Structure 1
């Protein structure tokens, strides 16, 4: 088995940045209404598979501070993993408008899984946290993530680094 050290280090860096952004911006990163700025990084699997594990580990670490506790460490991190894998496969597809679909898995998966988690722990109807979390994800992933995709696509050095 051959490991690419550069990819492992870069995946670790992605995880560290994800965790740091989430923890530094904790007031807006957790809760029913959240704008987790670190979720902008969920577009990176569109370009490279090695970012998937980094995002997953970064989410586990960042959810240590979650007011929901261990449930968020488990299910929130699984939501990020599922969305990252879906984004990776969108990036590998031949669909013409795939860049516009790339941010969508994070929005939908987090709205459903985190919506269910908040609904369960706060004992409120699912639709309320699902809409709130989905809206926050939509803003972060499309307002910040889509321009990031376009920036990476136009920059050969960044694109090559992410391969």
Structure 2
């Protein structure tokens, strides 16, 4: 079905992906301006958009590209420009694959994908590159991963899931994404 959408209306697919990328970048930069985007506990408002693969396959590349551009201002520089989007891409693919899994009509399991991917990938990033020269240790990694997960859960579950429910309740997901 996802491939059919790309073949049936490639312009719509590209526009959706571009709009999602642009929104992700804008919300990342806003989060950065508010001092929320970087560090062990990150409250990137853009992560609420990680729920959008529930509604369109175009969200997968849109989120990944948005993360690349959004991370251009990262204090972790190239490391975050490479590994952040890989985490986002993995999370978006998994969210898309689990889009029909619901618990009492809530997309709890799909919403967990960005939390897990970012906890692991960003947790490793922080453990290796935050304090250069120190050895990688599991206790430090688990601490970093836990703090990343706290920020991610907060945004995805308190903003992302309500966004998904609002889009569904008002039928906006069909108007915006045609699925």
TM-score normalised according to structure 2 size = 0.84
The alpha-carbon distance between structure 1 residues 5 and 87, as it changes in their structure 2 partners (threshold 3 A), is same
**Unaligned ranges ≥5, structure 2:** 1-6, 135-139
Report the 3-state secondary structure (helix = DSSP H, G, I; strand = E; otherwise coil) of the residue aligned with 1:57: helix
User: Do structure 1's residue 115 and structure 2's residue 94 form an aligned pair?
Assistant: no
Deviations 1:58-114 (A, max 9, x none): 0000111111110111011100000000000111x4x34261212100001100100
Answer with 1 or 2: which has the greater Rg.
2
What is residue 6 of structure 1 aligned with on the other side?
Answer: 12
What is residue 50 of structure 2 aligned with on the other side?
Answer: 42
Contact 2:50 2:92 in 1 (8 A): yes
What is residue 137 of structure 2 aligned with on the other side?
Answer: none
What is residue 141 of structure 1 aligned with on the other side?
Answer: 156
What is residue 90 of structure 2 aligned with on the other side?
Answer: 82
Where in structure 1 do 4 or more consecutive aligned residues deviate above 6 Å?
A: none
Contact 1:31 1:67 in 2 (8 A): no
Contact 2:102 2:108 in 1 (8 A): no
Q: How many residues align?
A: 161
Deviations 1:22-50 (A, max 9, x none): 11221201111210110000000011111
**Unaligned ranges ≥5, structure 1:** none
1:23 to 23, 26, 29: 29
Report the 3-state secondary structure (helix = DSSP H, G, I; strand = E; otherwise coil) of the residue aligned with 1:67: coil
RMSD (Å) for aligned C-alpha atoms: 1.5
What is residue 132 of structure 1 aligned with on the other side?
Answer: 147
Distance in 1 between the 2:171 and 2:122 partners? Answer: 35
2:168 to 141, 149, 153: 153
Distance in 2 between the 1:46 and 1:140 partners? Answer: 16
Q: Tell me the CA shift for residue 3 of structure 1.
A: 4.5
The alpha-carbon distance between structure 1 residues 67 and 153, as it changes in their structure 2 partners (threshold 3 A), is same
